[in-house]
Structure 1
Amino acid sequence: MYVQELRPVAGSLGLSALVAALPLVLVLVLLGGVRMKAHLAGLTGLLAAVLVARLAYGMPLGQAASSAAQGAAFGLFPILWIVVNALWVYRMTVRTRHFDVLRRSFGRLSDDPRVQALVIAFCFGALLEALAGFGAPVAICSVMLVALGFDPVRAAVVSLVANTAPVAFGAMGTPVVTLAQVTGVPLDDVAAVVGRQTPLLALVVPLVLVGLVDGRRGLRETWVPALVCGTAFAAAQFAASNYVSAQLADIGAALAGAGALVAVPRTRAPAAEPVRAAVLTGVRTGEPGERDPAREVVRAYAPYALIVAVFSAAQIPAVKDRLARATQTYDWPFLDVAGPDGEPVGGNVFTWPVLSTGGTLVLLAGLTTAAVLGVHARVAVAEWLATVRELRSALLTVTSVLALAYVMNLSGQAATIGHFVAAAGAGLAFLSPVLGWFGVAVTGSDTSANALFGALQVTAARESGLPPGLLAAANSSGGVLGKMISPQNLTIACAAVGLAGREGDLLRKVLPWSAGLLLVMCLVVAGQSAAVLGWMLP
C-alpha cells in the first residue's frame, strides 16, 4: 500500500506545494505562453506529474502508471463517449440538410436580430452545449448568425458570451460528473450547489447579449424578452439540477428559455428598419423566408426531441434501476493507495456505468435519429467514424489531462496544494472561482479544469472549515466564465466565421465581460460561504 504524504519535500508544506504545482504550472505555461497544442501540453504535464509522484512523493512507478491509466479510462468512458455520440447526431443532421431547415425555422421566428441572438446563441447554443459542448455551440451558432446577416465579429462575440451559463452542465453534465468523480463529493450534492450559482448568470447574460447586438437601444427595446428568457432558463436549470437530473439541466433550461421567449408578444413584432440596417451588415445565405415542408421541419427538430425523450425515460425509477444494474465495479489493478490518515481512497475502485451513462443514451437516440432522418446504416457508421477522426486531438487532450489529474490526486500532490492554499482562510471562498476561471481559460474545458483543480478545492475547503461542496461547485461555476476567453474557443469562433488570425480582436471584446461576470460569481460564492447568502445552499 502506498500512503500519501503531505510534506514529502524537506518536511515543508510550502516547498512540497511548490514542487507539487510544477506539472500544473508547466501545462499552463506551455498552453498560454509557448502556445503548444493542448494534447502535447497535456502529455508533457502528465510526464511531469509522474516524475514528481515518483521522485518527490515516493509513489511506486507502477502505481503512478496505473493511476494515469485509470484517469485516461475515465476520459474515454464516460466523458468522450458522450461527446462522440452527441456530435455524431449533429453530423447526421448536417449530412441530410436538416440542420439548414432548423436554421431557417429559427430565422422565421422573428426578424428582429436581437431576438434572433437570444434564440440562436443563448437558447439553441445552450441545447448544443447540453448535447455536445467542447466548442460545438460557438462554432455552430456563429455560422447560423452569419447566415442570417450578422457581421462575423459580432456573431462570434455574441456566441462566445452566450456560451457561459450552460457550460457547467454541458455534454450531458460531463463537467459536474467529472467534478464529483475526482473530489468524492456526491454528484447530486455538487449539481445542487452549481444549480444555485450558474442560474444567476442566466439572468444577466441575455441582457448582455441584446446590448452587444444593438447597444443601449437593444436594452431599452428588448429588455423584456431578454429578462423573461433568462428567468425561465434560470428557473429550469435550478429545478432540474436540484430535483431531477444534472444531465437534463441544460436541456430543460434551453427549452424553457426558448418557450418563454416565444410566449412574449414582443418576440414576433417586426424590427424597425434602422435596427436591421445597423446590425445586419452581412449578406444572408439561405433566406429564412424560404418555406420548408412541415414534415421536414418536424424531422429537423426530431433528433433533439428524441434525446430529451430518451434521457427523460431514463429518469423513471424503474428504468433507472434497470439501467443501473448493468453498472460494473472493479478493483483497479496495481493500485493500492491510502490517504494521509491511512484510509483507502476511492481511486482503488473503478466504476463502469455501461448503460446508465449519458453517452449510451445519446447513442440510442442517435440510432433512432438515423431511422427518422432516413440515414442508411452504412452512412451512419461512416459519420460516426468520421466524428472520431475529427475529435482525435480532443481524445488525446482529454485523456492526458484526466490522467494528469488522477496522478496528482492519488499521489497526494493535489492534497499538498490544497492544504497550502487553505491558508487563505476566509478569503478562499472569494478566490475559489478564480482558480476554475483560470483553468478553463487555459485548457478551454470546464471538464478539464474540474479534473485539475477539483480535488485541490475540496482539500482546501476541508482544511479551512468551508463546505467542500461549495468550493467544488465554485470551481465549475467560475470556470464557465473562462470559456469565452480560452484560446481554443477563440480559435474555433474565428475559424467558423472566417476571421482566422483575429483571435486578439475577439479577446479584447469579450475579456471585460468575462472579468466582470467573474467578479459577480466571486461575490456570490463569498456570500454563500457566510451568513449573507448562506441560505441559498441546500
Structure 2
Amino acid sequence: MNYTQVTDPLNYLGLSALMAALPILFIFWALIIRRKKGYQASLLTTLVALLVAVLLYGMPVKLAALSTLHGALYGLFPICWIIIGAVFLYNITVASGQFEVIKNFMASITPDRRLQALLIAFSFGAFLEGAAGMGAPVAITAAMLVGLGFNPLYAAGICLVANTAPVAFGAVGTPILVASQVSDIPDMAISQLVGRTLPILSVLVPLYLVSLMAGFRKSLEVLPAIIVSGVSFAFFQWLTSNYLGPMLPDVIAGLASILCLMLLLKYWKPKTVWRFQEEPPQTLETELRYSSGQILRAWTPFLIMTLMVIAWGLEPVKAALNSLGHVKFMVPGLENMAKADGSPLVVKPVEFNYLSNPGSALLLAALISLPLIGMRYAEGAKVYLDTLVQLKFSIVTIASVVGFAFLANYSGMSITMAVSMASTGALFPFFSPVLGWLGVFLTGSDTSANALFCKLQYTSADTIGIDPLITVAANASGGVTGKMISPQSIAIGAAAVGLVGRESELFRFTVKHSFIMLLAVCLLTLMQAYVTPWIVPAYQLMEATTTTAVSDVSAGFLYITALTVLIVLIALAVVLLNRKRIKLA
C-alpha cells in the first residue's frame, strides 16, 4: 500500500499546523482541564491522532494503524522492558528489607540538616532516579527527610528541586533512549550533549537547595560540602554520559557524590550543626545499626546492576549476545511510504535483541542478587508480578505515546508543525527547551515528553539549518526543569510527606525555581546553536550503521567472562562478610 506524506493538507500552513497539533492540544485539555489519568489521556490522544492522519492527511487506515502499532512495539520493547527491569531490581531491595539498611546508612552520616539535604535529596535521590525513576526518588527521599525531622513542605519541595539534575538520565537512561528512537539520532550523541548541558545545573543545584532551606549566609558555612557534592556529581555525570552512554550517569554520579561527601565529612565538619527552628519529632534511626558486611549486602543489587549495564554497553558484548539471539523484522505493509518530495521514507525495523537489551541486564542483575540479599526465587517471582501490576498503567501510557509519535512522524503531522515552528527562525533554539518543559509538566515524564516532541524538534531545527542534535538534546534538558511542577510529581511529593490536599502550597514552593532553571537551559541551548557550536559532538544518523567485525564477538565473550568472575568475587565477599558477622553474633 502506497502513501506519500503531506506537508500542508489545507493549503494554508498555519491552519494545517493547528490541525496537526490537535492531538497535542487534546492531551493538554485531557490532562489539565479534564484531569484524566495519564494512560487514559494517552490512549485518547492516539485515537485523535489516528483520525487526523486518516481524515486530514489522507493516510490509509491500515497504514495509520500499522504506524501506531510500530511505535507501540518500540514502546514495549526496549523501553518498557528496561523500566520493568529497573523497578523490579529496586523492588526486591525493598521487599527483602535491604533498603532499610541503605536508608539507615544514609541517615547516619551527619546530623546537620543542610548536609542531610545534600546527601539524601540531591545525591541519593539522583542515584534512585538513575536506578528506578518513576516517581520513586521524590517519594523515598522526601519521606526519609521527614523521618529525620524536616518540615514536610521543605522536605518535599527541596526533593522536587533536587530531582532536576538527574531526570534526563532517569530509569537507566530511558528518556535518552526514547529520544534516540524517535529522532534517529544515536543515543550516545544525545547523551553527550545533554551531559555537556546539565552538569552546569548540577554544580549549582546543591547551593540552590541549601539556600532555600537555610538562607544564603548559612549555606556559606557548609560551602566545602556544597562544592564537593555539586562538582563531584557534575564531573561524573559529564564523564559517564560522554564516555559510557546514557544508562549510568545518575547511578555513578550519585554514588560518587555520596562517597566524596562522606570522605570530606571524615576530615571536615561545619562549626555549628544547623536544624530547623521548629522541627517535627524525628522518627528515623540515625545511629548506624549495621556492619560493613550488611551495608555491602544491601548495596549489592545496585553494584551488580552497574557492572552489568556497563558491560552491556560495550559493542563487543552486544555483538556476542546478538550472535546468540537476535530477531529483526520489518512491519509488513510499511515498505512503500514516501516523503513529500517523493524520496523513500526510511522505516526502522523492529529489533528484538532480547539478550543484548539493557533491560535483560537489569533482570539478570536482579536474579543474581536475589540469593545474596536473602530472597527465594519464588518470592522474587511474586515481586516481579507485583512490579508488572504496579507499572501496568505506565506501560500503556508509554506504548500509546510512542505509538502516537510514530504515527505523527510517518503521516507528516510532525513536519507540518515543524515547518510552522521554524517561522521563529534563529530564536527557535531558545524556545526548544520550552517544548520539553511543557511535555514533562503535562505527562510527568521526560520519556513521554521526548516521545511527543523529539521528532518535531529534529525537523524544526533541520528546517532552519541548525544541528538537530541541539534541539533534541534541549528537549530532554529542558524537560527536567518541568518535573518539579508536574502535577504527578507534586502529588507524589505531597503524598510522601502527608501533605495531601495541600498540593497548591508545594506547587507555589517550586514553580519559581522551575522557570529560573528553564531560562538557564534556554540560554545554554541558544549558546550551543550560535556561540559554542564546537560543544556539539559529531555523529551519524542511526540509518548509517556498520556491521560488527567477527573479532568483536570473541572479545565480547571475553568481557562477559571477566564480568562473571567479578560478580562471583562480589558474591563471595558478601557471603563471607555476613557469615563472619553471624559467627561473631
Q: Whole-Å Cα distance in 2 between the matches of residues 525 and 160 of structure 1?
A: 23
SS of residue paired to 1:351: strand
- Structure 2 equivalent of residue 530 of structure 1: 530
Offset, 1:271: 7.0
| Closer/same/farther in 2, CA of residues 265 and 93 from structure 1, 3 Å limit | closer
CA RMSD across the alignment: 1.7
- Structure 2 equivalent of residue 309 of structure 1: 307
Q: Percent identity?
A: 41
Q: CA deviation digits over 1:25-54, x for unaligned, max 9?
A: 000111122211111111111110000000
The 8 Å contact of residues 106 and 119 in structure 2, kept in 1 or not, is answered as: yes
Q: Whole-Å Cα distance in 1 between the matches of residues 361 and 170 of structure 2?
A: 15
Question: Which has the larger displacement, 453-462 or 78-87?
Answer: 78-87
The 8 Å contact of residues 106 and 120 in structure 1, kept in 2 or not, is answered as: yes
The 8 Å contact of residues 110 and 270 in structure 1, kept in 2 or not, is answered as: no
Q: Whole-Å Cα distance in 2 between the matches of residues 339 and 239 of structure 1?
A: 39
Larger-Rg structure: 2
Give the residue type in structure 2 aligned to 1:244: L
Q: CA deviation digits over 1:340-379, x for unaligned, max 9?
A: 2333334352222322222111101100111111111111
SS of residue paired to 1:329: strand
Q: Whole-Å Cα distance in 1 between the matches of residues 508 and 19 of structure 2?
A: 34
Q: Whole-Å Cα distance in 2 between the matches of residues 383 and 26 of structure 1?
A: 36
Offset, 1:140: 1.2
Question: Which has the larger displacement, 258-267 or 38-47?
Answer: 258-267
Offset, 1:334: 2.6
Q: Whole-Å Cα distance in 2 between the matches of residues 317 and 22 of structure 1?
A: 41
- Structure 1 equivalent of residue 259 of structure 2: 259
The 8 Å contact of residues 482 and 514 in structure 2, kept in 1 or not, is answered as: yes
| Closer/same/farther in 2, CA of residues 419 and 396 from structure 1, 3 Å limit | same
- Structure 1 equivalent of residue 316 of structure 2: 318
The 8 Å contact of residues 112 and 271 in structure 1, kept in 2 or not, is answered as: no
Offset, 1:314: 2.4
TM-score (norm 2): 0.88
* Structure 1 unaligned residues grouped into runs of 5+: none
Give the residue type in structure 1 aligned to 2:240: A
Q: Whole-Å Cα distance in 2 between the matches of residues 271 and 387 of structure 1?
A: 45
Residue 352 in structure 1 maps to residue 352 in structure 2:
yes
The 8 Å contact of residues 233 and 256 in structure 1, kept in 2 or not, is answered as: yes
- Structure 2 equivalent of residue 32 of structure 1: 32
Q: Whole-Å Cα distance in 2 between the matches of residues 486 and 266 of structure 1?
A: 38
- Structure 1 equivalent of residue 149 of structure 2: 149
Offset, 1:513: 0.5
Q: Whole-Å Cα distance in 2 between the matches of residues 227 and 247 of structure 1?
A: 25
- Structure 2 equivalent of residue 507 of structure 1: 507
- Structure 1 equivalent of residue 3 of structure 2: 2
Give the residue type in structure 2 aligned to 1:463: T
Residue 276 in structure 1 maps to residue 275 in structure 2:
yes
Question: Which has the larger displacement, 412-421 or 255-264?
Answer: 255-264
| Closer/same/farther in 2, CA of residues 347 and 139 from structure 1, 3 Å limit | farther
SS of residue paired to 1:455: helix
SS of residue paired to 2:354: coil
The 8 Å contact of residues 310 and 365 in structure 1, kept in 2 or not, is answered as: yes
The 8 Å contact of residues 149 and 280 in structure 2, kept in 1 or not, is answered as: yes
| Closer/same/farther in 2, CA of residues 169 and 277 from structure 1, 3 Å limit | closer
Offset, 1:217: 3.7
Q: How many residues align?
A: 534
- Structure 2 equivalent of residue 369 of structure 1: 369
SS of residue paired to 2:530: coil
Q: CA deviation digits over 1:3-24, x for unaligned, max 9?
A: 1110112x22212111100000
Give the residue type in structure 2 aligned to 1:491: A
- Structure 2 equivalent of residue 169 of structure 1: 169
- Structure 2 equivalent of residue 114 of structure 1: 114
| Closer/same/farther in 2, CA of residues 364 and 187 from structure 1, 3 Å limit | same
| Closer/same/farther in 2, CA of residues 88 and 120 from structure 1, 3 Å limit | same
Matches within 5 A, 1:116-265: 116-265=116-265
SS of residue paired to 1:427: helix
Give the residue type in structure 2 aligned to 1:481: T
- Structure 2 equivalent of residue 420 of structure 1: 420
SS of residue paired to 1:247: coil
Offset, 1:180: 0.9
